Amino acid sequence: MSTRSASLPFVSSDRVASKAVACGWRLDARRAMTLRPHVPSRLQITQGSAWVTLGLPHEGAGNESGDHVLQAGESLSVPAGARLVMEPWPLAGAGAAAVRFDWAAEAEAQPVERPGRFGREVVTPSRELAVALGQAGWAFARLLRGVLGYSEYLVAGRGRVLTRFESNPP
């Protein structure tokens, strides 16, 4: 059985294990996938059934190890930093078939505060100016280092052109 690991908030496609299709993502039979979201996310099974294990202390429905069997239409909230392992689960009387699912970040419950006029017209430009000055200072330091390094090269005589009196005799 092969596994796949993704550390991004959203799953990226894999040519063997999962493919982007019209109704979400697909995980083929006899494959497993590991997901590690950085933001709270939701796994929604759209077709088939899947065996899912969460790598966090378990609370709620399921057994002590955090195992869940999700059928089509069921979903599971996955907290940020969790390690979710998923593979297709065989339906009654049939072998394991491909499972289709959707994976999305859950919307933050906190409303986003819009900055006031002072924040827009003073704080934001001052932060941008600080970043620009920092970049300019870093560029100046690199330029100074390059010039000093080049002067050492010239003083050492490696780049000096010899006059005809200083040249080696033929």
Phi, psi of 19, rounded to the nearest 5 degrees: -135, 145
Q: Identify whether the C-beta of residue 25 lies closer than 8 Å to the C-beta of residue 18.
A: yes
Whether the predicted pLDDT of 12 surpasses 80? no
pLDDT at 155: 63
pLDDT at 6: 44
Residue 53: in which H helix or E strand, if any? strand 49-54
pLDDT at 86: 92
Whether the predicted pLDDT of 10 surpasses 50? no
pLDDT at 87: 92
What order do you get walking across the sheet with 24-27 strand by strand? Answer: 18-21, 24-27, 99-105, 41-47, 75-78
> ∠ at Cα 132 (131, 137), nearest 5°?
100
What secondary structure letter does DSSP report for 121?
I
Helix (H, G, I), strand (E, B), or coil: what is residue 59?
A: coil
| Structure confidence by residue, pLDDT tens digits, 78-135 | 888 889 999 998 876 666 688 899 988 876 545 556 778 888 889 989 999 999 999 9
Residues 6+ apart with CB under 8 A from 125: none
pLDDT at 150: 75
Residue 141: in which H helix or E strand, if any? helix 124-155
Joined together, the tokens standing for residue 104 give 């999305």
Q: How many Å apart are CA 138 and CA 58, to the nearest integer? A: 49
pLDDT at 140: 97
| Structure confidence by residue, pLDDT tens digits, 133-148 | 999 999 999 999 988 8
- Residue 23: which pLDDT band, with cuts at 50, 70 and 90? low
Indicate the pTM of the whole model.
0.47
Task: Give me the amino acid identity at 129.
Answer: L
| Structure confidence by residue, pLDDT tens digits, 44-84 | 999 888 999 987 654 555 555 678 899 888 999 888 888 99
